[in-house]
């Protein structure tokens, strides 16, 4: 039962014989080696054109050991940060002449390890990890020790192979903004603690309050989803003393705002809400969301640049590459109610 095959195109040797040269010479022309006579170069290129020849990257990868492909590991959830980072990686890769191989994983150590292993196995030249590794960290770094790796979720175990946005500053900016407006303290809907992004936002929020001499309320936890924000909003909205909330992601902030609105709390008159991420929709929520802008797309790009540099020179020294986020003030924040 031979399935009808999609025929392969011409190979280098076909071009070679068409141009009356050796395959090696064709290879040299295609790789722009200097020592090729102009006349033969033209002859080869003409043959390439005529036969519609395209170099087979698989064969090339086999012999050179470089696939010109980078692997990206993300979690199998569809949130803004994931998708815009992925986009940034793809754009960055294209600019650098690389192709992207993406795999998703669940949060379990086994799944994460498998996913990375799948990438390595697939022959990628380097890996970008955009997921919290957790207990999988040790296993994973065993696999990635042989291959350049960049991490965008500053899991401690990845040491300094880290590219991203400074999460400490993000939460500090947001918290200070609310305190500056006159709020006595700021409540916090945190992300999943497994994510180091969420963890450091939580830490900086707490530290900022302490340094300002404010009471530190107990934090609530969500899972990045709007639903989880909604649930937490239903709780916070029932507490009269809550006047300011820092939500660890814009998507959760949408849920929080919805819940507060349903409970009859006005935003920002009764309660101020700040998100983090500045997703595309943040400017168009009702009210528009004050948030912390951090470009995931840019992070993806920088991660690729770092990775490519590391592929070119594995001895390259690794230093964390963190970018500062900025505060975007919109309509969801205001001074606390007067009678408070």
Q: Which of 7, 35, 37, 39 binds a copy of itself (CB under 8 A)?
A: 7
DSSP character at residue 331? T
Q: Which does 102 bind (CB under 5 to 8 A by kind): DNA, a copy of itself, none?
A: a copy of itself
Closest CA to 243 of 294, 183, 314: 183
CA distances from 294 to 150, 230, 297 (A): 18, 23, 9
* Residue of 64, 108, 110, 210 that binds DNA (CB under 7 A): 64
Interface residue with a copy of itself among 90, 153, 166, 298 (CB under 8 A) is: 90
Among 21, 25, 101, 237, interactor with a copy of itself by CB under 8 A: 101
Q: What part of residues 231-260 is at the interface with a copy of itself (CB under 8 A)?
A: 251, 254-255, 257-258
Binding to a copy of itself in span 120-139, by CB under 8 A: 120-123
**The residue to which tokens 């399935």 are assigned:** 3
| Partner interacting with residue 305 (select from a copy of itself, DNA, none; CB below 5-8 Å by kind) | none
Site for DNA contains 119 (CB under 7 A): no
Q: Judged by CB under 8 A, which stretch of 35-43, 98-106, 164-172, 214-222 contacts a copy of itself?
A: 98-106
Our finding on whether 293 is near DNA (CB under 7 A) is no
- Selection from a copy of itself, DNA, none that 30 binds (CB < 5 to 8 A by kind) is DNA
Cβ nearer to a copy of itself, comparing 21 with 253:
253
Closest CA to 219 of 4, 227, 204, 114: 204
Distance CA 163, CA 153 (A): 8
Task: Map residue 120 onto helix, strand or coil.
Answer: helix
Q: Which stretch, 26-34, 119-127, 151-159, 237-245, contacts a copy of itself (CB under 8 A)?
A: 119-127
Under the criterion CB under 7 A, does residue 24 sit at the interface with DNA?
yes
Q: Cis omega before residue 2 (within 30°)?
A: no
Closest CA to 45 of 80, 71, 19: 19
CB nearer a copy of itself, residue 107 or residue 147: 147
Integer Cα distance of 108 and 154 in angstroms:
18
Distance CA 6, CA 17 (A): 24
Considering the complex, state which of residue 31 and residue 340 has its C-beta at the smaller distance from DNA.
31
Q: Single out the segment in contact with a copy of itself by CB under 8 A; choices: 36-44, 71-79, 132-140, 212-220.
A: 71-79
Q: Is 323 helix (H, G, I), strand (E, B) or coil?
A: strand
Three-class secondary structure of residue 101 per DSSP: strand
Query: Residue 15 has which token pair?
Result: 């071009």
- Residue 239 lies near DNA (rule: CB under 7 A): no
Residue 148 contacts which entry, DNA, a copy of itself, none (Cβ below 5-8 A, type-dependent): a copy of itself
Q: Which residues, including other chains, have CB under 8 Å from residue 33's CB and lie 6 or more apart?
A: none
Task: Please state, in angstroms and rounded to a whole number, the distance separating the CA atoms of residues 68 and 80.
Answer: 27
- Taking the complex as a whole, how short is the minimal distance between the CB of residue 59 and a copy of itself, in angstroms? 5
Q: How many CA atoms lie within 13 A of 283 on its CB side?
A: 4
What is the number of residues in the chain?
340
Contacting DNA (CB under 7 A), which of 3, 51, 63, 297?
63
Q: Which residues bind DNA (CB under 7 A)?
A: 8, 11-13, 20-25, 27-28, 30-31, 34-37, 39-41, 55-56, 59-60, 62-64
């Amino acid at each position: 039962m031979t399935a009808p095959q999609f025929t392969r195109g011409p190979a280098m040797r076909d071009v070679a014989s068409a141009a009356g040269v050796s395959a090696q010479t064709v290879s040299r022309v295609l790789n722009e080696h200097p020592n090729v006579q102009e006349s033969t170069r033209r002859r080869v290129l003409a043959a390439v054109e005529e036969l519609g020849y395209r170099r087979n990257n698989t064969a090339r990868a086999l012999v050179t050991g470089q696939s010109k492909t980078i692997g990206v590991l993300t979690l199998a959830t569809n949130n803004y940060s994931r998708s815009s980072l992925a986009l940034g990686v793809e754009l960055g890769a294209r600019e650098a002449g690389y192709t992207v191989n993406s795999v998703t994983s669940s949060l379990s150590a086994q799944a994460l390890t498998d996913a990375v292993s799948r990438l390595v196995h697939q022959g990628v030249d380097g890996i970008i990890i955009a997921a919290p590794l957790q207990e999988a960290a040790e296993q994973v770094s065993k696999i990635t020790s042989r291959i350049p790796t960049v991490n965008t979720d500053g899991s401690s175990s990845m040491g300094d192979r880290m590219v991203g946005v400074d999460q400490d500053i993000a939460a500090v900016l947001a918290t200070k903004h609310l305190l500056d407006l006159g709020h006595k303290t700021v409540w916090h809907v945190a992300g999943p603690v497994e994510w180091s992004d969420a963890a450091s936002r939580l830490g900086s929020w707490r530290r900022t309050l302490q340094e300002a001499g404010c009471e530190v309320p107990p934090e609530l936890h969500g899972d990045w989803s709007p639903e989880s924000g909604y649930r937490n909003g239903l709780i916070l909205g029932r507490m009269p003393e809550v006047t300011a909330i820092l939500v660890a992601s814009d998507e959760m902030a949408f849920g929080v705002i919805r819940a507060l609105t349903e409970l009859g709390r006005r935003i920002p008159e009764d309660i101020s809400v700040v998100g983090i991420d500045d997703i595309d929709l943040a400017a168009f929520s009702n009210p528009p969301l004050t948030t912390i802008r951090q470009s995931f797309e840019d992070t993806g790009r920088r991660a690729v640049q770092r990775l490519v540099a590391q592929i070119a020179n594995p001895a390259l020294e690794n230093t964390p590459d963190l970018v500062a986020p900025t505060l975007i003030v919109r309509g969801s924040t205001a001074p606390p109610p007067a009678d408070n």
